[in-house]
Amino acid sequence: MDDTLQVLIVDDEPLARARLRALLGECRAPRAATAGEAGSAVQAVTLAQRAPVDVALLDIHMPGADGMRLARALRELPRAPLVVFVTAHAEHAVQAFELEAADYLTKPVRLERLQAALQKVQRIIQSRRVSGAPNRVEEYLVISERGRVVRVPLTEVLYLKAELKYITVGTAQRQYLLDGSLNQLEEKYAGRFIRIHRNALVARQAIRELVRHDDAEGEGWAVRLTGVEQPLLVSRRQIGALREALAL
């Protein structure tokens, strides 16, 4: 099997495309070949539809649709390529990770750094082959904490709980604080999470049992989640919808 990565270069500057093309020719582990070059988002989508592309190297600032919008469009293709952003603007890193970018390179790109990004791409592709899900895109919550950016796989999130100005993201290992809207998360990931309270969502697959629970207002209900020691309260308003969703 030929493991040469097929790479689409997208940049509105011809010299920038030429430099990336030259660097790709020097990559050895893994090897890489230029599958096509585009100076705009429209050209890039057309090329990605015509020929198999493993990874797209995307500039962010381009006339018309920028690299972020292009990345969203590429994700919708039947054979969606992985994305590596290549830009002179480091401030877009958090947004890039929210789009599940494989990597984020800043210009001028060094050969060693490009090769490291392609190695990451190769590992992702190999992992998908083993899992039998070549087009599956892992989803993450992107969290900024203590001067770093953390990507928490959505499959690890057991509950989301709104507290003051932040959302507590609970996993089996630890908790994170996310600056966001619980309503927006519920809408975006409706198939994965279900509301149990005005301030809490839980992962459907993590629900172990619905149990009776006494609180200050009398007898109520709570859910126990796999990997979470304490039960989470279910509001009286949500108990009917929860029972229906879980067929209880």
Neighbours of 196 (CB within 10 A): 24
| Terminal Cα distance for the chain, rounded | 50
Tokens 């904490």, located at residue: 145
Peptide bond into 14 cis (omega under 30): no
Q: pLDDT confidence of 23, banded at 50, 70, 90? A: very high
In order of 14, 19, 36, 74, 144, the CA distances from 26 in angstroms are 19, 11, 17, 26, 35
Task: Check residue 3 and give its pLDDT.
Answer: 81
Residues present in the chain in total: 248
Average of per-residue pLDDT values in the chain: 85
Task: Check residue 127 and give its pLDDT.
Answer: 76
pLDDT, one tens digit per residue, over 63-80 is 887 888 888 888 878 788
Token digits of residue 160: 């989301």
CB 82 within 8 A of CB 125: yes
Q: CB burial class (10 A; 0-12, 13-18, 19+) of residue 130?
A: exposed
CA–CA separation, 22 vs 9, rounded Å? 11
Task: Check residue 1 and give its pLDDT.
Answer: 45
Q: CB burial class (10 A; 0-12, 13-18, 19+) of residue 7?
A: buried
Eight-state DSSP code of residue 204:
G
CA–CA separation, 107 vs 139, rounded Å? 27
Task: Check residue 216 and give its pLDDT.
Answer: 61
CB 186 within 8 A of CB 201: yes
Neighbours of 199 (CB within 10 A): 15
Rounded to two decimals, what is the model's pTM?
0.57
In order of 63, 99, 115, 123, the CA distances from 29 in angstroms are 33, 26, 7, 12
User: Does 129 score more than 60 pLDDT?
Assistant: yes
**Rounded mean pLDDT, 86-101:** 67
Task: Check residue 130 and give its pLDDT.
Answer: 66
CA–CA separation, 83 vs 103, rounded Å? 7
Buried b / exposed e over 70-103, threshold 16 CB at 10 Å, is bbeebeeeeebbbbbbbbeeeebbeebbebbbbb
